[in-house]
C-alpha cells in the first residue's frame, strides 16, 4: 500500500489533529487542524477533551522535490545531484521566514502563531480565517470600481509595506491569497516562504521547472528563472504582483502572463497585454492616474517599475507622476491625455518628501536568511577604469603576436621598457622563461652573435679578481 501524498484526516502532528486538507501549492500543503493542550498522555493514548481552537497548519512540501514515506516523513524524492542540499536550504528558509513573520503584527497580514519541525520537514500554525477569498469575490462581482478596489486592496498594500520594511517579500500575490469579509478588514495570507532558496540553493540541481512556484498572470518576469543582479527579486517583484491583482480587480481578468509577453516582444510582436488605461479609457469610476500607475508597475523589466511600494502607492494616489517612458507608450496606444498625466509640481514635491522620509525611517533590520532584504543598488565600475586595466593586457597580446619576428630577447626587452613597473612586479619570475620558436630574420643571426660577444667581454671585465 502506497503512502498518501498528504496527511490523512485525523493524523496527529505534535498537538494538532488534521481535520481536512485545505489546499496544496508548489511549496506546501495547508490543512484545517484542531489544536489541543496535550497530544499524548501515554503510549497510544490521545487527547479526548475539546480542542482549544481551529487553526491552519502549513507543511513544507515542495512539489516535484519531496515525497512522503513511512511514518508521514517527508523526504527528497530524487537522486539528482544537489537535490538534498536544495531541499535542506529551502527548509531552513521556510523555517526562518516563518520565525520572522512571528516577530511582527499587522491587522492586514496573516499572523503566525508557531513554527516547529516534525516528520523531516517544518510546519507553521496560523489562524483559521472565516471569510472569502478575493478570487471568489471577483468571480461573483466581476470588475470593480476604483473606490471598491481601494477599499479591498489598499489595506493589503499597507500590510505588505509593513512586511517589506522588515525584509520579507511575499512573492505570490494573487486574489487567492487575499481574504475578504474578515473581521478587521482584508488579510494577506500565504507568504511564499523559501522560494528563492529553492531556486538558488544548488547550482547542480537543474530541475527548476518542477520547483518554480509562481502564479501565471500575477508573477513578475524575474520569477520565471534564476534571479540575477540585473533581474533581482526585490520589492519591485511584489510591486508587479500587487499591480496585477489591481488590474484583475478593475479590468475583470488577470494580465497576460509575463513570460508570454516577453516571448512575443522578443519575437518582434507587440506586447499582448492591453494596458488598463487602454482597456478602461473613458470608463467612469477609474481615474487616469490610478490606471497609469497600474500600467507602470506592470512593466516587464524590474528596473522600469516603481522600486518600492511607497512610490507605487503615491502614484496610485496621483501624487507621483509615472515616468515619461510609460506615458509615451500609453499615448502611442491611443490613450487620450496619457502624455499629460502628471500631478501639479507642488503635489509631486510634497509626495516626494513624504515618500523619502518614509524610506529613511524604515527600520534597518537584518533580514533572516529565509527572507529577502530590500534591494540595494550597486554602482557599476566606471568604464574608463575598466579600459585602463585592459591596456596592459592588450599590449602583452600585441607583443606576443610579434614574437615570430623578433624573438624572445626582444620581447623581454620591450616588456621591461614599456610595461608599467606595477604590472611587471605582479608577473611571476617563471613568466620570463617562456620559449618562442621564431623564424630567423636575415641579418639577425650576425647581429645577435656580435652582441653576445660584446656582452661576454663586458661581464669578464666586471668579474672580481679572485674569480679570474
- CATH code at position 13: 3.30.200.20
Beta strands in 143-295 (DSSP E): 178-180, 187-188
The residue with greater pLDDT, 226 or 435, is: 226
The verdict on residue 173 lying in a domain is yes
The answer to whether the beta carbons of residues 204 and 275 sit under 8 Å apart is no
Which of 224, 225, 198, 196 has the alpha carbon at shortest distance from 211? 198
Give the model's confidence band at 41: pLDDT under 50 very low, under 70 low, under 90 confident, else very high. Answer: low
pLDDT greater than 70 at residue 113: yes
d(CA 147, CA 142): 14
Task: Kindly state whether residues 82 and 104 are assigned to the same domain.
Answer: yes
Q: Which of 54-58, 69-73, 330-334, 383-387 has the highest mean pLDDT?
A: 54-58
pLDDT of residue 178: 96
Task: Kindly state whether residues 396 and 318 are assigned to the same domain.
Answer: no
The verdict on residue 15 lying in a domain is yes
Task: Kindly state whether residues 105 and 140 are assigned to the same domain.
Answer: no
**Residues β-bridged to residue 117:** 122
Max Cα–Cα distance, the chain, nearest Å: 109
The verdict on residue 461 lying in a domain is no
pTM: 0.70
Query: In the structure grid, which three cell numbers stand for residue 164, read together?
Result: 517589506
The verdict on residue 287 lying in a domain is yes
- The DSSP H or E segment spanning 76 is strand 74-76
The verdict on residue 10 lying in a domain is yes
Task: Kindly state whether residues 163 and 71 are assigned to the same domain.
Answer: no
Helices within 58-208 (DSSP H only): 83-102, 134-141, 146-164, 195-200
Structural domains counted in the chain? 3
Task: Kindly state whether residues 125 and 136 are assigned to the same domain.
Answer: no
Task: Kindly state whether residues 161 and 102 are assigned to the same domain.
Answer: no
Task: Kindly state whether residues 52 and 161 are assigned to the same domain.
Answer: no
Q: What's the CATH number where 325 sits?
A: 1.10.510.10
pLDDT greater than 60 at residue 313: yes
pLDDT greater than 60 at residue 182: yes
The verdict on residue 423 lying in a domain is yes
Matching residue, cell 484542531:
34
pLDDT of residue 292: 95
d(CA 397, CA 415): 11
pLDDT of residue 452: 55
pLDDT of residue 45: 65
Reduced to 3 states (helix: H, G, I; strand: E, B; else coil), residue 369 is coil
Which of 249, 244, 301 has the alpha carbon at shortest distance from 273? 244
Q: Which residues, including other chains, have CB under 8 Å from residue 295's CB and lie 6 or more apart?
A: 275, 276, 277, 322, 326, 330
pLDDT of residue 381: 35
The verdict on residue 79 lying in a domain is yes
Reduced to 3 states (helix: H, G, I; strand: E, B; else coil), residue 33 is strand
The verdict on residue 193 lying in a domain is no
The answer to whether the beta carbons of residues 277 and 335 sit under 8 Å apart is yes
Backbone angles phi, psi at 158, to 5 degrees: -65, -45
Task: Kindly state whether residues 322 and 285 are assigned to the same domain.
Answer: yes
Q: What is the pLDDT of residues 294-306, one digit of tens each?
A: 999 999 999 999 9
pLDDT greater than 50 at residue 172: yes
d(CA 438, CA 320): 69
Q: Which residues, including other chains, have CB under 8 Å from residue 29's CB and lie 6 or more apart?
A: 6, 7, 21, 23, 58, 59, 61
Task: Kindly state whether residues 330 and 438 are assigned to the same domain.
Answer: no
Q: What is the pLDDT of residues 237-295, one digit of tens each?
A: 999 999 999 999 999 999 999 999 999 999 999 999 999 999 998 777 899 999 999 99
pLDDT of residue 395: 55
Task: Kindly state whether residues 299 and 367 are assigned to the same domain.
Answer: yes
Matching residue, cell 477569498:
133
Residues of the chain above pLDDT 90, percent: 44
Task: Kindly state whether residues 174 and 228 are assigned to the same domain.
Answer: yes
Structural domain boundaries enclosing 443: 388-455
The answer to whether the beta carbons of residues 242 and 309 sit under 8 Å apart is yes
pLDDT of residue 430: 41
Last residue of a domain, one of 358, 378, 398: 378
The residue with greater pLDDT, 212 or 339, is: 339
**Which bin fits 72, alpha (ψ -120 to 50), beta or left (φ > 0)?**
left
Q: What is the DSSP string of 441-457?
A: PTTHHHHHHHHHHHHHH
Mean pLDDT over each residue of the chain, to the nearest integer: 76
Task: Kindly state whether residues 175 and 112 are assigned to the same domain.
Answer: no
Q: In angstroms, how far is CA 98 from the centroid of its own chain? A: 18
pLDDT of residue 128: 93
Amino acid at each position: 500500500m502506497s503512502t498518501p501524498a498528504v496527511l490523512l484526516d485525523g493524523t496527529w502532528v505534535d498537538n494538532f489533529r488534521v481535520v481536512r486538507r485545505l489546499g496544496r501549492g508548489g511549496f506546501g500543503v495547508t490543512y484545517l487542524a484542531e489544536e489541543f493542550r496535550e497530544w499524548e498522555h501515554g503510549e497510544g493514548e490521545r487527547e479526548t477533551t475539546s480542542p482549544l481552537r481551529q487553526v491552519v497548519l502549513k507543511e513544507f512540501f515542495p512539489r516535484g522535490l519531496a515525497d512522503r514515506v513511512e511514518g508521514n516523513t517527508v523526504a527528497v524524492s530524487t537522486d539528482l545531484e544537489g537535490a538534498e542540499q536544495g531541499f535542506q536550504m529551502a527548509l531552513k528558509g521556510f523555517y526562518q521566514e516563518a520565525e520572522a513573520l512571528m516577530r511582527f503584527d499587522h491587522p492586514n497580514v496573516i499572523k503566525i502563531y508557531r513554527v516547529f519541525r516534525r516528520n523531516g520537514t517544518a510546519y507553521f500554525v496560523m489562524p483559521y480565517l472565516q471569510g472569502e477569498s478575493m478570487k471568489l469575490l471577483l468571480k461573483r462581482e466581476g470588475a470593480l470600481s476604483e473606490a471598491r478596489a481601494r477599499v479591498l486592496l489598499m489595506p493589503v498594500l499597507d500590510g505588505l509595506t509593513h512586511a517589506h520594511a522588515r525584509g520579507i517579500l511575499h512573492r505570490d500575490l494573487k486574489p487567492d491569497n487575499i481574504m475578504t469579509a474578515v473581521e478587521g478588514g482584508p488579510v494577506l495570507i500565504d507568504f511564499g516562504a523559501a522560494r528563492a532558496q529553492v531556486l538558488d540553493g544548488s547550482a547542480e540541481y537543474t530541475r527548476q521547472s518542477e520547483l518554480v512556484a509562481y502564479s501565471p498572470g500575477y508573477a513578475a518576469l524575474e520569477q520565471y528563472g534564476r534571479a540575477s543582479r540585473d533581474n533581482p527579486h526585490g520589492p519591485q517583484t511584489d510591486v508587479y504582483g500587487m499591480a496585477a491583482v489591481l488590474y484583475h480587480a478593475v479590468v475583470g481578468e488577470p494580465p497576460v502572463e509575463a513570460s508570454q509577453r516577453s516571448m512575443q516582444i522578443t519575437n518582434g510582436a507587440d506586447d499582448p497585454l492591453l494596458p488598463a488605461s487602454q482597456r478602461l479609457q473613458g470608463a467612469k469610476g477609474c481615474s487616469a492616474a490610478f490606471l497609469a500607475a497600474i500600467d507602470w508597475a506592470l512593466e516587464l523589466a524590474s528596473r522600469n517599475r516603481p522600486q518600492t511600494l511607497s512610490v507605487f502607492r503615491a502614484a496610485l494616489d496621483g501624487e507621483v507622476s509615472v515616468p515619461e517612458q510609460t506615458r509615451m507608450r500609453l499615448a502611442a496606444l491611443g490613450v487620450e491625455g496619457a502624455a499629460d498625466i502628471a500631478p501639479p509640481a507642488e503635489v509631486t514635491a510634497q509626495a516626494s518628501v513624504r515618500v523619502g522620509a518614509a524610506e529613511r525611517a524604515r527600520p534597518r533590520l537584518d533580514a533572516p536568511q529565509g527572507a529577502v532584504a530590500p534591494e540595494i543598488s550597486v554602482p557599476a565600475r566606471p568604464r574608463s577604469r575598466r579600459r585602463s586595466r585592459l591596456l596592459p593586457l592588450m599590449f602583452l597580446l600585441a607583443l606576443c603576436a610579434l614574437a615570430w619576428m623578433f624573438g624572445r630577447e626582444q620581447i623581454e626587452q620591450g616588456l621591461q621598457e614599456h610595461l608599467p613597473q606595477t604590472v611587471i612586479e605582479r608577473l611571476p619570475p617563471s613568466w620570463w622563461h617562456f620559449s618562442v620558436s621564431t623564424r630567423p630574420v636575415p641579418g639577425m643571426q650576425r647581429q645577435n652573435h656580435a652582441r653576445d660577444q660584446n656582452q661576454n667581454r663586458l661581464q669578464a671585465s666586471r668579474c672580481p679578481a679572485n674569480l679570474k
